[in-house]
């Protein structure tokens, strides 16, 4: 199975993604995790990404697209994968279509977690106390919500039109949300 998981910052995407990738037996490909690993290792890619991430901006598409194309071509992603945090722009949607086309495959579904904005902000402020993430300050948290609404929310309509979108209520405990995802994707 080949899936995407989407949701605004704070929706619990990362937590659910780990469990869902395990269920489908596929590679969990989180662009945020890959960027953070590169930042930690102080690679060239990490240095570029850090400037954007710390400001709550998206890393430029050409950087992100090349990284995902490489990752999807690896063996462990051949049969099944869960993309977490990609695509985030319409340009990335077009690029992903191209990558999958070249690999001779396509998406089976797009899980979108929905959470009201007040809850998102309060979750992220809580996380900021423990995460040590440099993009978890209040101004940056608010800015990331704005960027999500402007750049990423329009992708929901694209995948809805393609009949791929599965919207799941992201309120409640991680287990409750995980159960909803499982119910919504019986074949996963
Ligand atoms: P969150 O879902 O909490 O925003 P992520 O871990 O998914 O966190 O991403 C962290 C940061 O990494 C983003 O704010 C952005 O700067 C960068 N990033 C991740 N994925 C992408 C992407 N597909 N395109 C551009 N930037 C990205």
Tokens encoding 14: 């990362």
Instruction: Return the pLDDT at 184.
Output: 95
The preferred substitution site among 58, 117, 139 for testing ligand 1, maximizing ligand atoms within 8 Å of CB, is 58
| Pocket of ligand 1 contains residue 148 by CB under 6 Å | no
Chain mean pLDDT for the chain: 94
Instruction: Return the pLDDT at 87.
Output: 98
Is the backbone peptide bond immediately before 87 cis, with ω within 30 degrees of 0?
yes
Can 36 be counted among the known catalytic residues? no
Q: Which residues contact 39 (CB under 8 A, 6 or more apart)?
A: 46, 47, 49, 50, 53
Can 127 be counted among the known catalytic residues? yes
Tokens encoding 179: 């159960």
Instruction: Return the pLDDT at 60.
Output: 97
Tens digit of pLDDT at every position of the chain (188 positions): 999 999 999 999 999 999 999 999 999 999 999 999 999 999 999 999 999 999 999 999 999 999 999 999 999 999 999 999 999 999 999 999 999 999 999 999 999 999 999 999 999 999 888 887 777 888 999 999 999 999 999 999 999 999 999 999 999 999 999 999 999 997 77
Instruction: Return the pLDDT at 97.
Output: 98
Q: Quick one: DSSP state of residue 149?
A: I
Which atom of ligand 1 is the closest one to the Cα of 11?
2
- Give residue 58 CA to ligand 1 midpoint distance, Å: 6
Instruction: Return the pLDDT at 106.
Output: 95
Instruction: Return the pLDDT at 137.
Output: 85
C-beta separation of 6 from 84 below 8 A: no
Burial class (CB in 10 A: 0-12, 13-18, 19+), 47: exposed
Structural domains for the chain: 2-182 (3.40.50.300)
Can 162 be counted among the known catalytic residues? no
Please report where in the chains the tokens 């690896």 appear, as a residue: 74
Can 47 be counted among the known catalytic residues? no
| Pocket of ligand 1 contains residue 140 by CB under 6 Å | no
pTM of the prediction?
0.91
In the set 2, 50, 71, 88, the catalytic residue is: 88
């Amino acid at each position: 199975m080949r899936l995407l998981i989407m949701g605004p910052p704070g929706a619990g995407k990362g937590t659910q993604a780990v469990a869902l990738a395990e269920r489908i037996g596929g590679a969990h490909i989180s662009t945020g995790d890959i960027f953070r690993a590169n930042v930690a290792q102080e690679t060239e890619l990490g240095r570029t990404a850090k400037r954007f991430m710390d400001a709550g901006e998206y890393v430029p598409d050409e950087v992100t697209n090349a990284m995902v194309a490489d990752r999807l071509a690896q063996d462990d992603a051949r049969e099944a994968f869960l993309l977490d945090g990609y695509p985030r722009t319409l340009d990335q949607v077009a690029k992903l279509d191209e990558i999958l086309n070249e690999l001779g495959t396509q998406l089976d579904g797009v899980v979108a977690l929905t959470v009201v904005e007040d809850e998102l902000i309060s979750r992220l402020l809580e996380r900021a106390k423990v995460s040590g993430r440099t993009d978890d300050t209040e101004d940056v948290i608010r800015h990331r919500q704005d960027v999500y609404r402007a750049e990423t929310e329009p992708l929901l309509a694209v995948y809805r039109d393609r009949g791929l979108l599965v919207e799941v209520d992201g309120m409640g405990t991680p287990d409750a949300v995980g159960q909803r995802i499982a119910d919504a994707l019986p074949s996963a």
